């Protein structure tokens, strides 16, 4: 037998003595045996005798008698009726409160005798006392407020046309006086302005203040009409009746919840078996532990699991696939209409549904386990009011994030999982409708440079890394230099220059890219200028930028420098303007040179604020699809090096596009995507981790 604790605990660890004398004696004997106190054989004999004669224990007999009387008493609670006189003329809510007050009085009278016998009786007695404290105040407030409403309604019926006309006359008189006061005040302000005593701004502010005063007088004047005043009074008191009643009832429920948390519970159970036994049915344990609302919520999860997730995983309700089994077979041996990709996607959806069901099972089990082990220690389970309050406070971030998480599962996780699994198949131009699992063959081919796909991968990867580092770094340096230049106090026309520098960011990028593409075409403006310069210096004057891999790459880097510098310029300008001038003045007094002020003050402060965003610029350029595709479509092309899958200026992102969308190498494209994604995540994390803002936990 597992040992009982000699004391009980509440939710914050406070100790309480046991009221169950039978369990207290068991705990005392078990503790003495464990500590080796006295004759062990005698203690074991007494322990055996105590458990054998359990039903004859005086305390348990008294407890049984109390429970019998309690059951009989609860049957009489439904017959209790309040004194009908106080409820006469009022609504059903007051009648219900009066009945609750009468029931609370009866419960207090009954449980007072047994409060020292059992913690359940003590809780019932203390709760009844709390209700006897709060309910009369709620009833009194409601009765007084309703009497005021009834009085106002009676007065509204007694209003005569003469009284209404008199009130309307007073309203019109007060309205005219308020407007006249406003006009007189404005006239005085204008006179002061003409005499030069106040400024134009003071005139506008004074007019605004006078208008506010007039509106306030007009609002108050509306209540000079007795009909309007009476209607507003009734409306206000009706709202107070509903709102304040809810507040007062919540205060009572909060006090009762605090009382429950301070009152332990006793049980003879020592092993939390209920949570294990009810594991296949989420919500059942909560129902058996007197948590019906929470049980209902978990029962909905049970319905989802056995009504949707499991049947779908077994193939019922699928569009074409066979649930989880289709994920393994990939439509092998199926009809011509059955496609492997559909089987894969539906298998992934089945896994997601099962993952949601598993989360429900785990959540239900952990909740039931926590409640059950808490009861063994003496901690009382939460009521629905406590659970709801906890959800609205500590659980609020999780509740608002849950819909986004569910959407994320199907919008992000399912496509991502499809890409991952697709990289382990042989889907290519020869295996479109039906493909099969090939393990790591695609990754091995890429690593070894085999085949038309693997052969071009290394070359394209090298150019992608060069492009990312050079284009992004040059854009950052250019943008920062321009920001420093325009932030210099000696520069005139800053607004003009800032407008010019922001144009690359303001103008849609695809327009700029197409424009530059036309200018470097064989007869483009830039090409003609370069050819003229080449001829002047003795060259052949036959520069063809788009036909040269080197020239094309240089042009792309310069183009991205122009496009990316505007964003960095904007970021840096905002940070530079926020740096206090005192720092530069103090550094200058200390003898710091211009370069020292930039290197020791400007650059560290700018990087601290912008480093995470600059890291994102490298990631963006690594996957900059549009500039490559729109400028030269990845060319010039070199079949000897790249085959028919890419060109000299293709990045990995455009290479993947060619693989998947043009040549139908979906499996290889997925494998390259996974390699690129993992590498980007790793290097992005390294970049963030090395930034000062990340180290100081500002991110």
Q: What is the pTM of this model?
A: 0.77
Q: Which of 362, 390, 422 is the last residue of a domain?
A: 422
Mean pLDDT score, 576-580: 77
Residue 1 scores a pLDDT above 60: no
CB-facing half-sphere around the CA of 664: CA atoms within 13 A? 8
Same domain, 543 and 407: no
Nearest to 604 by CA among 475, 480, 435, 425: 480
CB-facing half-sphere around the CA of 672: CA atoms within 13 A? 26
Q: Are 328 and 346 in contact (CB under 8 A)?
A: no
Number of domains the chain contains: 2
Q: Are 278 and 285 in contact (CB under 8 A)?
A: yes
Mean pLDDT score, 627-653: 87
CATH code for the domain in which residue 688 is found: 1.10.3720.10
Indicate whether 95 belongs to any domain: no
Query: What's the rounded Cα separation, in Å, for the pair 100 and 107?
Result: 10
Same domain, 412 and 482: no
Indicate whether 8 belongs to any domain: no
Q: Among 280-289, 577-586, 648-657, which stretch is predicted with the lowest mean pLDDT? A: 577-586
Residue 249 scores a pLDDT above 60: yes
Q: Which of 392, 422, 452 is the last residue of a domain?
A: 422
Indicate whether 347 belongs to any domain: yes
* Residue 170, pLDDT score: 87
Query: What's the rounded Cα separation, in Å, for the pair 620 and 636?
Result: 23
Same domain, 449 and 499: yes
Q: What percent of the chain has pLDDT over 90?
A: 40
* Residue 90, pLDDT score: 62
Q: Are 4 and 377 in contact (CB under 8 A)?
A: no
* Residue 332, pLDDT score: 85
In tens, the pLDDT along 504-518 reads 878 888 888 998 899
Q: What is the largest CA-CA distance in the chain?
A: 119
Same domain, 357 and 468: no
Same domain, 531 and 586: yes
Mean pLDDT score, 211-234: 87
pLDDT higher at 508 or 84: 508
Residue 57 scores a pLDDT above 60: yes
Q: Are 682 and 601 in contact (CB under 8 A)?
A: no
In tens, the pLDDT along 288-301 reads 988 888 899 999 99
Q: How far is CA 621 from the centre of its chain?
A: 29
Indicate whether 35 belongs to any domain: no
Indicate whether 309 belongs to any domain: yes
Query: What's the rounded Cα separation, in Å, for the pair 665 and 662?
Result: 8
Same domain, 414 and 560: no
Cα-based angle 200, 203, 207 (whole degrees, multiple of 5): 145
pLDDT higher at 696 or 606: 606
The band of 696, judged by pLDDT with boundaries at 50, 70 and 90, is: low
Q: Are 27 and 397 in contact (CB under 8 A)?
A: no
Indicate whether 16 belongs to any domain: no
The band of 699, judged by pLDDT with boundaries at 50, 70 and 90, is: very low
Backbone dihedral region of 199: left (phi > 0), alpha (psi from -120 to 50 degrees) or beta? beta
**What domain range is 330 assigned to?**
274-422
* Residue 401, pLDDT score: 84
Q: Are 658 and 650 in contact (CB under 8 A)?
A: yes
* Residue 87, pLDDT score: 46
What are the distances in angstroms from CA 676 to CA 457, 464, 664?
11, 11, 19
Same domain, 361 and 509: no
- Kindly state the tokens that stand for 508: 């849609």
Residue 26 scores a pLDDT above 50: yes
Same domain, 361 and 478: no
Same domain, 385 and 504: no
Mean pLDDT score, 102-115: 94
Nearest to 189 by CA among 208, 172, 171: 208
Residue 695 scores a pLDDT above 70: no
Nearest to 241 by CA among 372, 152, 124: 152
- Kindly state the tokens that stand for 140: 């009194």
Q: Which of 395, 422, 449 is the last residue of a domain?
A: 422
pLDDT higher at 393 or 691: 393
* Residue 591, pLDDT score: 78
Q: Are 320 and 346 in contact (CB under 8 A)?
A: yes
Same domain, 405 and 481: no
Nearest to 698 by CA among 619, 610, 628: 610
Same domain, 535 and 612: yes
CB-facing half-sphere around the CA of 387: CA atoms within 13 A? 15
Residue 84 scores a pLDDT above 90: no
Q: What percent of the chain has pLDDT over 70?
A: 97
- How many distinct helices (H) and strands (E) make up the chain? 32, 2
pLDDT higher at 59 or 450: 59
Indicate whether 228 belongs to any domain: no
Query: What's the rounded Cα separation, in Å, for the pair 560 and 573?
Result: 20
What are the distances in angstroms from CA 72 to CA 64, 77, 104, 120, 285?
13, 9, 16, 16, 27
Indicate whether 501 belongs to any domain: yes
Same domain, 634 and 570: yes
């Amino acid at each position: 037998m597992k040992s009982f604790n000699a004391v009980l605990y509440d939710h914050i660890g406070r100790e309480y003595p046991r009221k169950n004398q039978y369990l207290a004696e068991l705990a005392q004997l078990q503790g003495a045996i464990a500590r080796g106190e006295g004759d062990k054989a005698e203690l074991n004999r007494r322990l055996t005798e105590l458990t054998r004669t359990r039903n004859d224990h005086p305390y348990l007999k008294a407890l049984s008698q109390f429970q019998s009387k309690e059951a009989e008493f609860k049957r009489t609670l439904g017959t209790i009726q309040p004194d009908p006189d106080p409820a006469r003329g009022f609504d059903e809510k007051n009648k219900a409160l009066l009945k609750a007050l009468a029931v609370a009085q009866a419960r207090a009278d009954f449980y007072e005798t047994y409060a020292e016998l059992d913690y359940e009786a003590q809780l019932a007695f203390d709760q009844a006392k709390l209700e006897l404290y709060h309910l009369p105040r709620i009833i009194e407030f409601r009765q007084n407020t309703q009497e005021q409403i009834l009085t106002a309604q009676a007065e509204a019926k007694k209003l005569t046309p003469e009284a209404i006309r008199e009130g309307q006359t007073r309203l019109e008189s007060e309205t005219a006086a308020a407007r006249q006061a406003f006009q007189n005040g404005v006239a005085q302000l204008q006179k002061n302005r003409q005499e030069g005593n106040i400024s134009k701004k003071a005139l506008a502010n004074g007019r605004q203040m006078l208008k506010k005063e007039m509106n306030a007088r007009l609002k108050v004047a509306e209540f000079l009409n007795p009909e309007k005043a009476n209607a507003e009074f009734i409306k206000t008191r009706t709202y107070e009746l509903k709102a304040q009643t809810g507040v007062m009832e919540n205060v009572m429920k909060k006090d009762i919840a605090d009382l429950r948390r301070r009152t332990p519970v006793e049980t003879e159970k020592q092993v939390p078996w209920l949570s294990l036994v009810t594991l296949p049915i989420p919500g059942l344990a909560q129902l058996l532990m007197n948590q019906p609302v929470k049980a209902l919520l978990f029962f909905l999860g049970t319905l989802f699991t056995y009504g949707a997730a499991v049947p779908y995983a077994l193939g019922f309700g699928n569009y074409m696939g066979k649930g989880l089994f289709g994920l393994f077979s990939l439509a092998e041996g199926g009809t011509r209409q059955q496609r492997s990709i559909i089987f894969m996607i539906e298998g992934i959806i089945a896994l997601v549904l099962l993952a949601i069901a598993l989360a429900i099972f785990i959540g239900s089990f952990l909740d039931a386990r926590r409640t059950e082990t808490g009861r063994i220690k003496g901690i009382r389970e939460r009521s629905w009011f406590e659970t709801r309050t906890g959800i609205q406070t500590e659980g609020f971030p999780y509740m608002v994030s849950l819909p986004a998480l569910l959407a994320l599962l199907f919008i992000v996780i399912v496509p991502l999982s499809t890409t991952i699994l697709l990289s382990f198949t042989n889907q290519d131009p020869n295996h479109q409708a039906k493909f099969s699992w090939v393990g790591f063959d695609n990754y091995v081919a890429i690593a070894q440079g085999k085949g038309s796909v693997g052969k071009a991968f290394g070359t394209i990867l090298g150019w992608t890394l060069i492009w990312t580092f050079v284009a992004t770094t040059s854009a950052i340096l250019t943008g920062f230099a321009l920001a420093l230049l325009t932030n210099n106090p000696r520069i005139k026309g800053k607004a003009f220059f800032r407008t010019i520098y922001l144009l690359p960011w303001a103008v849609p990028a695809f327009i700029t890219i197409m424009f530059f593409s036309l200018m470097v075409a064989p007869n483009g403006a830039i090409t003609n200028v370069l050819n003229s310069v080449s001829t002047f210096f003795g060259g052949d004057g036959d520069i063809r930028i788009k036909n040269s891999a080197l020239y094309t790459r240089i042009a792309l880097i310069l183009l991205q420098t122009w496009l990316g510098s505007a964003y960095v310029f904007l970021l840096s300008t905002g940070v530079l303007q926020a740096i206090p001038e005192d720092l530069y003045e103090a550094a200058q007094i200390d003898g710091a040179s211009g370069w020292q002020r930039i290197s020791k003050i400007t650059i560290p402060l700018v990087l601290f604020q912008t480093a995470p965003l600059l890291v994102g610029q490298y990631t963006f350029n690594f996957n900059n699809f549009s500039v490559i595709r729109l400028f030269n479509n990845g060319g010039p092309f070199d079949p000897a090096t790249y085959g028919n899958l890419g060109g000299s200026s293709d990045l990995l992102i455009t290479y993947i596009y060619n693989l998947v969308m043009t040549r139908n190498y979906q499996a290889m494209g997925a494998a390259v995507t996974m390699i690129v994604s993992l590498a980007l995540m790793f290097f992005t994390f390294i970049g963030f981790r090395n930034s000062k803002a990340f180290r100081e936990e500002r991110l």
